[in-house]
């Protein structure tokens, strides 16, 4: 159990380090950085490399945004395997719906509960 | 002739000024000279933009009250802000109900408004005119950058948009009041800077060009001034301006005359990164602290150079550079 | 002075990005967020009928719920200023981008404001994720069809 925590910390931290380097050295905006990481996750999934990373690092691989690209591609690949051409389009959100639906629902609830404040501390 | 340099023979006076600020500006080093500090950034309104409007109205009201005037005696109202199409100032102008021209020079609006008001006064067309500018942190951030609660990392060169409104009452020359002797309308400088989190570097060349232009046109040197104060170059932009001036031949002693409102605004508080910015920054410093120094006689002649970055979120996303401008007013006190 | 000389001058006088410091902070914050995610995963596995694989979904939802609270109380932007990519890259950063836009645009109403702007910042992530997943699946399907590889 301790080992899983350490693996999650190290792998998750390293993915964030790649993001920080893209922002600081590559001079990219956060939106560009996150888009690149998502695309990377999808490509790794295509090569079948992301699922082993999840087995290895647990939340260290499922929590970073790369996991989002992986689940999208994973869903599309699984459906494509079952249904061929049609599956490429239909399967995409099968695995990944929870992140987007949670963001929409909590975004809406957040808008109901809070208002933006210009606080600094 | 030196283009853009204007001399006002009748020396219109700054009769009074009103400066109101938001809650965070309580931490400004200039706070003792602000007229009103709001505890609520919304000024008890529903939206940031409405709060912004109320602060503009309040600053105008305070300036008029100091001379026991009402808004009916006002001939012109000239000002602007940074919100799309300047709606807060437009709504405030509807409340004030005097002839109105909206001014957009980004964060240089405080001095460009004063220049227009001085010209109207010089022409004899204005007895009392209000000129100034305002900005509101939340309203501006969401428009130019990200939602206020978005967790993006800002670099050390980023500046904090102030919540402030500053308006000056410009009238015919009056003994014992600071007066506007001359002004320079600056040229737009574009040195191909494109980082919207580094405004100081974008604006320093505009300040440099306007200062040089003004001194040349007026046949003055830096020694003629007690202070040359730029608007909001910030803690990174100010040293860049000073280096440009040093390369143009100014000595270290002379450079001590050059100060910046944005760099000094929040003192050394690291939370505000490179200091203050926004149209309300120069307006709230020039029309509070600097006017007080002039009135008390501690300063006799100052050059106020408000600096503005003329970018829009669209121009940044389309990878265009940031054009900038600086407008200067020379204010003296007998 | 020309723009090229000026660029040199301003670079010289501007503070450098403390890359090493930023990277360390991103590692620390990102690592901690993922460790918290791991703890939540274990919680769902121990108390509900989830496996290591399936616990990912409730974990992500829970993390976004936490991001909502931190965003609403104005704390996520402080975390973001310290952690940089460390708080932007985890799914909580995705949540923060969605939730902060929703809260910000509340003043324009729930349909045009919240509904219309909720994906203002995070939309590009979804677009690029979906398009790249489509291409990945399409290419793989073609390769399988022509017999270069198998599923």
Domains for chain B: give ranges and CATH numbers: 5-171 (3.40.47.40), 179-332 (3.40.47.40)
**Number of structural domains, chain C?**
2
- Smallest Cβ–Cβ distance between A8 and the set C28, C35, C106 belongs to C35
Tell me whether residue C40 is in a domain.
yes
d(CA B200, CA B275): 10
Helix (H, G, I), strand (E, B) or coil at A96: helix
C90 sits in which H/E element: none
Joined tokens for residue C48? 């509900």
Tell me whether residue C96 is in a domain.
yes
Do residues B163 and B283 make contact, with C-beta atoms less than 8 angstroms apart? no
- Residues C130, C114: one domain? no
Give residue B112's pLDDT: 98
Average pLDDT on B251-265 reads 97
Tell me whether residue A115 is in a domain.
no
Angle at B236 between CA B235 and CA B240, to 5 degrees: 120
Joined tokens for residue C134? 């489509």
Phi, psi of B133, deg, nearest 5: -160, 165
- Residues C136, C97: one domain? no
**Number of structural domains, chain A?**
1
Nearest chain B alpha carbon to C69? B149
List helix spans (H) across chain B: 48-66, 87-96, 109-122, 137-144, 199-218, 234-247, 252-255, 261-265, 279-284, 291-295, 313-317
d(CA B267, CA B263): 8
Q: State yes or no: pLDDT of A98 exceeds 90.
A: no
Q: How many CB atoms lie within 10 A of CB C122?
A: 24
Tell me whether residue C63 is in a domain.
yes
On the 0-12 / 13-18 / 19+ scale of CB atoms within 10 A, C134 is middle
Give residue B303's pLDDT: 98
d(CA B301, CA A50): 68
Helix (H, G, I), strand (E, B) or coil at B157: coil
Which residue segment(s) compose the domain that A82 sits in?
A: 2-95
Nearest chain A alpha carbon to B195? A27
Phi, psi of B131, deg, nearest 5: -135, 140
Average pLDDT on B250-254 reads 95
Do residues B110 and B283 make contact, with C-beta atoms less than 8 angstroms apart? yes
Give residue B238's pLDDT: 98
Q: How many CB atoms lie within 10 A of CB A2?
A: 6
Tell me whether residue C146 is in a domain.
yes
Q: State yes or no: pLDDT of B90 exceeds 90.
A: yes
Q: State yes or no: pLDDT of B265 exceeds 90.
A: yes
- Residues C142, C115: one domain? no
Average pLDDT on A105-112 reads 97
d(CA B287, CA A21): 44
pLDDT digits (tens, 9 = 90+) for B153-180: 999 999 999 999 999 999 999 999 999 9
Do residues B324 and B309 make contact, with C-beta atoms less than 8 angstroms apart? yes
Q: Percent of chain B, pLDDT > 90?
A: 99
Average pLDDT on B38-49 reads 95
* Mean of per-residue pLDDT scores for chain B: 96
Tell me whether residue C10 is in a domain.
no
Question: Is A55 touching B (CB cutoff 8 A)?
Answer: no
- Residues C105, C144: one domain? no
> C14 and B204: CB-CB below 8 Å?
no
Give residue A44's pLDDT: 97
Do residues B214 and B328 make contact, with C-beta atoms less than 8 angstroms apart? yes
Joined tokens for residue A44? 């790794």
Average pLDDT on B280-284 reads 98
Nearest chain A alpha carbon to B316? A29
- Residues C71, C22: one domain? yes
- Residues C37, C84: one domain? yes
> A117 and B41: CB-CB below 8 Å?
yes
Which residue segment(s) compose the domain that C145 sits in?
A: 122-151
Tell me whether residue A86 is in a domain.
yes
In which region does residue B32 sit, left (phi positive, over 0), alpha (psi from -120 to 50) or beta (all else)? Answer: alpha
CB-CB neighbors (< 8 A) of C96 in chain B: 149-151
- Residues C132, C112: one domain? no
pLDDT lower than 50: segments of chain C: none
Give residue A96's pLDDT: 74
Tell me whether residue C58 is in a domain.
yes
Q: State yes or no: pLDDT of B118 exceeds 80.
A: yes
Average pLDDT on A59-73 reads 95
Tell me whether residue A90 is in a domain.
yes
- Residues C68, C128: one domain? no
DSSP state of B47: S
Q: State yes or no: pLDDT of B1 exceeds 80.
A: no
Joined tokens for residue A8? 């999650």
Residue-level length of chain A? 121
- Residues C144, C71: one domain? no
- Residues C42, C77: one domain? yes
């Amino acid at each position: 159990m301790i080992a899983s925590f350490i693996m999650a910390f190290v792998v998750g931290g390293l993915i964030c380090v790649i993001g920080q380097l893209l922002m600081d050295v590559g001079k990219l905006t956060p939106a560009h950085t996150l888009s690149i990481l998502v695309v990377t996750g999808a490509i790794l999934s295509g090569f079948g490399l992301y699922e082993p990373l999840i087995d290895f690092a647990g939340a260290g691989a499922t929590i970073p945004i790369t996991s989002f690209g992986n689940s999208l591609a994973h869903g599309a690949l699984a459906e494509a395997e079952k249904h061929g051409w049609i599956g490429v389009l239909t399967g995409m959100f099968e695995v990944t719906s929870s992140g987007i639906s949670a963001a929409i629902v909590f975004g809406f609830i957040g808008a109901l509960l809070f208002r933006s404040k210009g606080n600094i501390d | 002739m030196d283009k853009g340099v204007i001399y006002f023979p009748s020396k219109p006076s700054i009769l009074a000024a009103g400066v109101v600020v938001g809650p965070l500006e309580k931490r400004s080093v200039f706070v003792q000279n602000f007229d009103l500090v709001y505890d609520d950034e919304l000024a008890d309104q529903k939206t940031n933009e409405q709060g912004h409007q109320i602060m503009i109205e309040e600053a105008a009201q305070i300036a008029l009250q100091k001379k026991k005037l009402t808004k009916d005696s006002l001939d012109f109202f000239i000002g602007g802000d940074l919100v799309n199409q300047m709606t807060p100032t437009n709504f405030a102008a509807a409340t004030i109900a005097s002839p109105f021209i909206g001014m957009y020079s980004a964060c240089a609006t405080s001095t460009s408004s004063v220049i227009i008001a001085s010209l109207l006064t010089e022409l004899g067309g204005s007895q009392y005119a209000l000129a100034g500018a305002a900005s509101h942190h939340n309203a501006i951030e969401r428009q130019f950058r990200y939602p206020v609660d978005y967790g993006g990392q800002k670099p050390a060169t980023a500046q904090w948009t102030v919540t402030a409104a500053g308006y000056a009452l410009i009238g015919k020359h009056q003994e014992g009041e600071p007066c506007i002797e001359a002004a320079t309308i600056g040229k737009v400088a574009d040195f191909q800077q494109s980082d919207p989190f580094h405004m100081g570097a974008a604006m320093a060349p505009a300040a440099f060009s306007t200062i040089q232009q003004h001194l040349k046109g007026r046949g003055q040197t830096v020694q003629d001034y007690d202070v040359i104060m730029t608007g909001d170059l910030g803690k990174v932009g100010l040293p860049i301006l000073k280096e440009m001036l040093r390369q143009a031949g100014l000595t270290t002693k002379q450079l001590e005359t050059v100060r910046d409102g944005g760099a000094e605004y929040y003192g050394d508080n690291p939370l505000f990164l490179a200091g203050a910015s926004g149209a309300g920054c120069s307006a709230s410093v020039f029309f509070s602290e600097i006017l007080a120094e002039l009135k008390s006689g501690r300063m006799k002649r100052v050059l106020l150079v408000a600096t503005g970055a003329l970018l829009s979120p669209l121009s940044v996303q389309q990878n265009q550079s940031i054009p900038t401008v600086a407008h200067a007013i020379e204010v003296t006190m007998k | 002075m020309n723009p090229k000389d000026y660029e040199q001058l301003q670079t010289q006088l501007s503070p450098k990005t403390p890359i090493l410091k930023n990277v360390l902070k991103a590692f620390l914050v990102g690592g901690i967020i993922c460790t918290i995610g791991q703890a939540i995963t274990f919680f769902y596995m121990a108390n509900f009928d989830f496996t290591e694989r399936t616990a990912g979904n409730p974990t992500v939802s829970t993390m976004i719920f936490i991001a909502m609270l931190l965003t609403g109380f104005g704390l996520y932007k402080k975390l973001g200023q310290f952690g940089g990519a460390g708080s932007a890259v985890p799914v909580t950063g995705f949540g923060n981008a969605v939730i902060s836009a929703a809260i910000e645009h509340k003043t324009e109403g729930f349909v045009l404001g919240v509904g219309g702007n909720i994906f203002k910042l995070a939309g590009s992530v979804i677009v690029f994720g979906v398009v790249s997943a489509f291409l990945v699946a399409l290419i793989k399907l073609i390769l399988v069809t022509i017999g270069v590889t198998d599923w």
